[in-house]
Amino acid sequence: MIAYASRTGTKRNLAALREAGWRILVSARGVLRTEGFPYALDNGAWTAHQRGEDFDVPAFEKAVDLLGEGADWVVLPDIVGGGHRSLAYSLAWLPRLAPLPGRLLIAVQDGIEPADIAPYVSGRVGIAVGGSTEWKIRTIPVWGKFAREHGCYLHILRVNSVRRLNLCRDAQADSFDGSGPSRFAKHLAVMEAGRRQLHLMESF
């Protein structure tokens, strides 16, 4: 399971992330630097949501222009907690971003059901499980089953505890991200120990 940490400029934490083999998740609303890491690109919707702002289209387009070509995947623009309105917004962006070489991920939100996105997923279009914390934790198993049945990529957003890491494992997620390891070296140690334990369990 691939681990992504929110981009940080702290050299000590970057060195620890690099040694642990983590990748970087760059936000369109943050500093647009990869720090030499393999990376994925988030659309910045979570930052807009936290600040009570509308989705920042110019910031996202700038991020795609600078970093989209080299990203492992890009999260399609979404509306946090927006349900079907968010899905419609994401799908409207799909043709515009289809030329990018990496995967595109639909961020599923509260109220979205697997049947709603089944027509759109593929080997190149996967899902990122977002939404409210309660909804996300409750539905991770559902999305894990869906991803396996449809052969699509599964990423879990905002994973900052070993408990959530275990949920990712049980869902057979391809990747997850968290901000804690970017800010605190001790948190990276905890999460990396959990990730390594998962890999040991998978090897038996």
pLDDT class of 185 with cuts at 50, 70, 90: low
pLDDT band at 161 (very low <50, low <70, confident <90, very high): confident
* Residue of 31, 32, 34, 33 whose CA lies nearest to 22: 34
Structure tokens of 35? 């720090």
Average of per-residue pLDDT values in the chain: 91
Q: What is the mean pLDDT of residues 49-55?
A: 88
Residue 198 binned pLDDT confidence (cut-offs 50, 70, 90): low
More confident of the two residues 203 and 165: 165
Torsion of CA 200, 128, 151, 192, to 10 degrees: -10
Distant-in-sequence, close-in-space partners of 39: CB < 8 Å, separation ≥ 6: 4, 7, 23, 24, 25, 26, 67, 70, 71, 72
pLDDT at 46: 86
Average pLDDT over residues 43-48: 90
Does position 32 have pLDDT exceeding 90, yes or no? yes
Q: What is the mean pLDDT of residues 175-194?
A: 77
| CATH number of the 2-203 domain | 3.20.20.105
Is 60 exceeded by the pLDDT of residue 200?
Answer: no
Report pLDDT for 36.
Answer: 95
Mean pLDDT of all residues in 156-168: 90
Task: Give 59-62's long-range contacts (Cβ < 8 A, gap of 24+).
Answer: 59/28, 59/29, 60/28, 62/28, 62/32
Per-domain residue ranges for the chain? 2-203
Residue 181 clears pLDDT 80, i.e. is over it: no
